[in-house]
Amino acid sequence: MTEILTKIKRRYFEVFGDLEKEINFLRKTNLLLSFIILLMLGSVIYLGAKPPVVIRVSRVEGAKTIQDLHTNNLPEGYEMVGFAKRFTISYTAFNSYTYTRDFAEAFNLMTARFQKEARKAMDPALIDKLKDVGINTEIQFKEAKLERDSDEAGIVSLVGVRHVTKYAENVPPQEILFRADLVLKKVRRTLTTPEGLLVEAYHEITLNDVTRKDSTSHD
């Protein structure tokens, strides 16, 4: 009998031997599954940190996918000019019906530092004026130029005419010629900053009141 038991290759012969053997097997299985879960979690974090896929369209409508390379991921000149125009319209083309949406979009295009400066510089009575005056503003850009460009930032200069009309009054629009200079900070392309740009500074000067000039010439 002793010889027979010796030849049987089993670890346990007591009543709960099979149960303990199953517990050991489940313990090893759990360790393997935990390792697989950690590996999958690391893969998800790695993929989430990568910038989104960007398809750039050239001036002749040629589309190409931009790889995750710093040199190819930087915005080009015409992208910076278009971004500057979009911000200027949202930030300065006041409309009594869409100003909340326009300001929200404009502030989302700013750096955190410029957001603080813009809030301090904004006239507290501006919102109330926009509610009561009932105006609509359109901007027609006359010139747009990329003044400087580097890997960190760029400066865009815009010259345009701002046409301001009142909804309730049938009068000619007020037309103001202005120049705006924008400092655009280049950032990583993400879901919140797909253009890879944020406005670091905005400066504007009035070049001429076209309305006043036209009314004087008619007199």
CA 84, distance to chain mean position in Å, is 13
In a domain, 57, yes or no: no
In a domain, 209, yes or no: yes
Rank 2-6, 25-29, 131-135, 183-187 by mean pLDDT and report only the highest: 183-187
In a domain, 197, yes or no: yes
In a domain, 185, yes or no: yes
> What's the pLDDT tens digit per position in 144-183?
999 999 999 999 999 999 999 988 777 788 899 999 999 9
77 in Cβ contact with 155 (< 8 Å)? no
**What confidence category does residue 218 fall into, taking pLDDT thresholds of 50, 70 and 90?**
very low
How many angstroms separate the Cα of 25 from the Cα of each of 16, 20, 29, 32, 101? 14, 9, 6, 11, 60
149 in Cβ contact with 184 (< 8 Å)? no
| Total count of domains within the chain | 1
pTM (2 decimals)? 0.65
State how far the Cα of 63 lies from the Cα of 24, in Å rounded to an integer: 57
Rank 20-24, 130-134, 137-141 by mean pLDDT and report only the highest: 137-141
Here the CATH number for the domain that contains residue 157 is 3.10.450.230
How many angstroms separate the Cα of 1 from the Cα of each of 6, 8, 13, 85, 98? 9, 11, 14, 95, 95
In a domain, 129, yes or no: yes
Q: What is the domain range of residue 204?
A: 74-218
Q: How many CA atoms lie within 13 A of 37 on its CB side?
A: 6
Give the residue ranges of DSSP H helices in 8-57.
Answer: 17-49
Q: Quick one: pLDDT at residue 143?
A: 96
Of 138, 160, 165, 174, which Cα lies nearest the Cα of 204? 160
Lookup result for tokens 């083309």:
93
